[in-house]
Amino acid sequence: MNIILLGPPGSGKGTQAELLYQKYGLTHISPGELGRRGGDELAKKMLTYMRKGELAPSMLVMKLVQKNLGEHNLFDGFPRSLDQAEELDQNVVIDLVLELGLSDPEVIKRLSSRLECMKCKASYGPAHKPKKAGVCDLCGGELVKRKDDTPELIRKRLETYHDETEPLLEYYRPRNLVYTVNGNNTVKEVFKEIVRAVEARS
């Protein structure tokens, strides 16, 4: 089973990715994560681009992905272009493309009120409130606003998301692979719908 997870910033993609790969034992393929985790030369190179805030060359991303492929994979933050999607098709059979659907105003609303744990980087918002205000459920760390969650930067990230994602959806749609989940629900409800979509395909 190979799943691609797409979703705008603030859609809870990270949380859903985590739930998904835990439930189904998928290999989590996120070039950003692989870079951060470090280890080999490829990951180190990836991290260099990330630190500079630059987009890594597709060749490098592809190599990193190929090296880490498992039997069943969850692709998160990848592919980001049609080139990468075509390249990925040469390596694995995609079973499902999950899109977390969230309108632009909803994304802006969510990101503007999003808080992040200073210690473990866990993210909180209207759909995922901490048990105690201002305190992380997971580690007890202090919750603060992220520096890149300004209206201008949010709008920029949204634009990039639309530019990258819409062609991808059109690429996969003719094969009937795209399933859009209503990202406006709670974490639990969204995951339930995702599980339903996954089970329907397997």
Catalytically active residues, by annotation: 13, 80, 114, 146, 157
Using left for φ > 0, alpha for ψ between -120 and 50, and beta otherwise, residue 139 falls in alpha
Number of alpha carbons in the 13 Å side-chain half-sphere of residue 146? 21
CB 194 within 8 A of CB 7: no
Binding site for Zn ion (CB under 5 A): 117, 119-120, 122, 136, 138-139, 141
Min. distance of Cβ 53 from Zn ion in angstroms? 25
Min. distance of Cβ 140 from Zn ion in angstroms? 7
Strands 2-6 and 27-29 turn out to be unpaired
Cis peptide before 79 (omega within 30 of 0): yes
Residue closest to 151 by CA, chosen among 113, 177, 116, 100: 113
The smaller minimum CB distance to Zn ion, of residues 138 and 144, is found at 138
The smaller minimum CB distance to Zn ion, of residues 87 and 137, is found at 137
The CA distance from 38 to 44, in Å, is 6
Min. distance of Cβ 7 from Zn ion in angstroms? 22
The smaller minimum CB distance to Zn ion, of residues 88 and 143, is found at 143
The smaller minimum CB distance to Zn ion, of residues 82 and 138, is found at 138
Min. distance of Cβ 19 from Zn ion in angstroms? 17
